[in-house]
Chain A
Amino acid sequence: EDKVVQSPLSLVVHEGDTVTLNCSYEVTNFRSLLWYKQEKKAPTFLFMLTSSGIEKKSGRLSSILDKKELFSILNITATQTGDSAVYLCAVESPYNNNDMRFGAGTRLTVKP
């Protein structure tokens, strides 16, 4: 059965710390892996990864995919209180167009 596992489930850090969030997956016919940030309700898109080893970067956030080892990491440097949220990882399969399988998420809390 396809599955997406995120770790850790929760994380508490202080402002300025760097964090690494993990997402491992077992999905048949992988197409892409996506990261979303969910602060209150609507998940907002962060990154889409399709190729191994190519880092995607946006400000203090970056992400990379390893298709051989079947995992991705999301890095956040110099964390701020506004980074506090649930970070969701989702994997997409071409045989299920737009059917994304989500992990349970990592709840990040950044303390001042």
Chain B
Amino acid sequence: DAGVTQSPTHLIKTRGQQVTLRCSPKSGHDTVSWYQQALGQGPQFIFQYYEEEERQRGNFPDRFSGHQFPNYSSELNVNALLLGDSALYLCASSRWDLSKNIQYFGAGTRLSVL
């Protein structure tokens, strides 16, 4: 049973570029959440997708957008990259219909913006 998988593991971009990160949820999960974790900080919630729609959004600018596909996998897109976007981007999956929900995390994508 595959857990949450993310790709790529590492990425180097320059300021102003655009990036797409990918996530496949754990088998049986239908909800995907994205987090940004800066060095030495806890993860910060970006947004969450369920039924191919953005359900919740944290305090991130519109440069951060996402998508969920019919197979529940998800993408995170970041436009006009800034140096401050350098971070570990974590994807977490869960089931929407569970009242006591536990999110399972992938190993993340380390994004470096130069």
Q: A and B from one assembly?
A: yes
Interface on A for B, CB 8 Å cutoff?
4, 6, 32, 34, 36, 40-45, 48, 50, 88, 90, 92, 96-105
Write out the residue numbers on chain A whose beta carbons fall within 8 Å of the beta carbon of B42.
4, 6, 88, 90, 102-105
Write out the residue numbers on chain A whose beta carbons fall within 8 Å of the beta carbon of B41.
104-105
Q: Interface code B89-114, partner A: CB below 8 Å = 1, 0 otherwise? A: 01000101000111111111010000
Q: Is the CB of B44 within 8 A of A41?
A: no
Q: How many residues of B contact A (CB 8 A)?
A: 28
Q: Is the CB of A42 within 8 A of B105?
A: yes
**Interface residue SS majority, chain A:** strand
* Cα of A94 to Cα of B30 in the assembled complex, Å: 18
Q: Interface code B65-99, partner A: CB below 8 Å = 1, 0 otherwise? A: 00000000000000000000000101000101000
Q: Is the CB of A98 within 8 A of B44?
A: no
Which of B40, B56, B102, B110 interacts with A97 by CB under 8 Å?
A: B56
Q: Least Cβ distance of A26 to chain B in Å?
A: 15
Write out the residue numbers on chain A whose beta carbons fall within 8 Å of the beta carbon of B103.
45, 98, 100
* Cα of A97 to Cα of B45 in the assembled complex, Å: 12
